[in-house]
Chain A
Amino acid sequence: MSDERTETGRHGASPVDADVFDAGDPVVLEQSTLFGDVVRRYSKNRAAMAALFILLLMIVYSTVGPWLRPWSFDEGLFSNPSLLPYQLPDLAHWFGTDQHGRDLFVRMAMGGRVSLLIAFAATGIVLVVGVIYGSLSGFIGGKTDEAMMRFVDILYGLPYLPFAIILLVILGAGIVPMLLALAVVSWLTPSRLVRGQMLTLKQNEYVEAARALGAGRSRIVFRHLLPNTLGIIVVAMFLEVPGMILGEATLSFLGLGISAPDASWGTLASEGWKALRSHPWMIILPGIFIGVTVLCFNFVGDGFRDAIDPRTKETK
Chain B
Amino acid sequence: MTKLIVRRVIWTIPVLLLVIFLTFLLMKAIPGGPFTSEKGVPEEILANMNAKYGLDSPWYEQFFRYVWHAAQGDLGVSMTQKSRTVVDVIWDAFPVSIHLGVLAFGLAMLIGIPAGIVAALKHNTIWDYGAMFYSTIGWALPHFIVGPVLIYVFALRLGWFPTSRWVGVDSWVLPTITLGTALSAYFARLTRGSMLETLQQDYVRTARAKGLPFRTVVLKHVLRNSLIPVVTQAGPLLGFVITGSFITEYVFAIPGLGKYFVSSVSNRDYSVVMGLAVLLSSIIIFANLVVDILYGILDPRIRYE
Contact = CB atoms under 8 A, between A and B. Distances in A.
Interface of A: 154, 156-163, 165-167, 169-170, 242, 246, 249-250, 253-254, 256, 266, 269-270, 272-273, 276-277, 280, 283-284, 286-287, 290-291, 294-295, 298, 314-316
Query: Taking chain B's interface residues, is the majority helix, strand, or loop, or is none over half, making it mixed?
Result: helix
Contacts of B276: 162
Contact of A314 (B196, B238, B262, B265): B196
Contact of B193 (A160, A286, A291, A315): A315
A162 B257 CA distance: 11
Contacts of A269: 144-145
A165 B26 contact: no
B247 A166 contact: no
Interface in B188-202: 189, 193, 196-197
Contacts, number: 120
B149 A166 contact: no
A284 B281 contact: no
Given A166-B26, A166-B273, A254-B250, A159 B140 contact: no
Contacts of A266: 144
B10 to A, nearest CB: 14
Interface string B156-200: 100000000000000000000000000000000100010011000
Given A250-B142, A276-B148, A290-B142, A159 B239 contact: yes
Contacts of B80: none
Contacts of B242: 159, 161-162
A287 B145 contact: yes
Interface in B235-252: 235-236, 238-239, 242-243, 246-247, 250-251
B136 interface: yes
Contact of B26 (A167, A242, A314): A167
Given A158-B281, A295-B136, A166 B27 contact: yes
Contact of B281 (A159, A246, A256, A273): A159
Q: Which of A161, A170, A298 has the most CB of B within 10 A?
A: A161
Contact of A166 (B30, B196, B238, B250): B30
B18 A154 contact: yes
B111 interface: no
B69 to A, nearest CB: 21
B141 interface: yes
A255 B137 CA distance: 26
Contacts of A162: 242, 246, 261, 276-277, 280
29 contacts: A154-B15, A157-B235, A157-B281, A158-B19, A159-B238, A159-B281, A159-B284, A160-B243, A162-B276, A165-B262, A166-B26, A169-B30, A170-B29, A253-B247, A254-B246, A256-B262, A272-B148, A273-B251, A276-B148, A276-B151, A283-B148, A287-B141, A287-B145, A291-B140, A295-B140, A298-B140, A314-B196, A315-B197, A316-B193
Given A161-B242, A161-B243, A291-B141, A298 B29 contact: no
Contacts of B148: 272-273, 276, 280, 283
B26 A170 contact: yes
B31 interface: yes
B68 to A, nearest CB: 22
Nearest to A287: B145
A277 B243 contact: no
Given A276-B152, A290-B145, A165 B239 contact: no
A163 B26 contact: yes
Contacts of A159: 238-239, 242-243, 280-281, 284
B288 interface: yes
Given A159-B239, A170-B26, A170-B29, A253 B261 contact: no
Nearest to A272: B148
B277 A163 contact: yes
B207 interface: no
B285 interface: yes
A159 B242 CA distance: 7
B133 to A, nearest CB: 11
Interface in B112-147: 136-137, 139-145
A158 B239 contact: yes
A4 to B, nearest CB: 30
A156 B288 CA distance: 11
Contacts of A276: 148, 151-152, 156
Interface string B2-37: 000000000000010011000100110111000000
A249 B140 contact: no
A159 B285 CA distance: 10
